[in-house]
Structure 1
Amino acid sequence: MQGEWTGELVGPDVWVSCRELIPAGSVFAFLAEHRAALSPAETFADMYPSRNGRPSMPPQVMAAAVIL
């Protein structure tokens, strides 16, 4: 079962609190700014065909962690 991200944060958002440490125009800044558009939840829907079982960690959150 594919987990859903409701927008709540477990801790502080690193991008908001550390934005000045990431060079503007860098690959990391681009990925952080566009992470929602680069890995929407629909992209991962075919990996979770069953509605049975425990919901997973939202895949778009995991993809952002792997990329960044």
Structure 2
Amino acid sequence: MNPEALKLLVTRRMPYGKYKDRLIADLPGHYLNWFAREGFPKGELGQLLALMQEIDHNGLKPLLDPLRKNA
């Protein structure tokens, strides 16, 4: 897992859709799971969404708390 990618989860915002402007780290699990089923977008956004889905699915969201404080 790339530490820089983890930092992006707490600083990068969703650029479109129902959750536009919400931090990727704050996207709801059902939305992330929808992407997992339907396909993640290409590029960096898709990689970040896939990483966040994996973190959320495995109950690891609290690991992002120290990064939020430093963001």
Class of the TM-score when normalised by the shorter of the 2 chains: under 0.3
TM-score (normalised: structure 2): 0.26
Q: Computing the radius of gyration over CA atoms, which structure comes out larger, 1 or 2?
A: 1
TM-score (normalised: structure 1): 0.27
**Higher relative contact order structure (alpha carbons within 8 Å, sequence separation ≥ 6):** 1
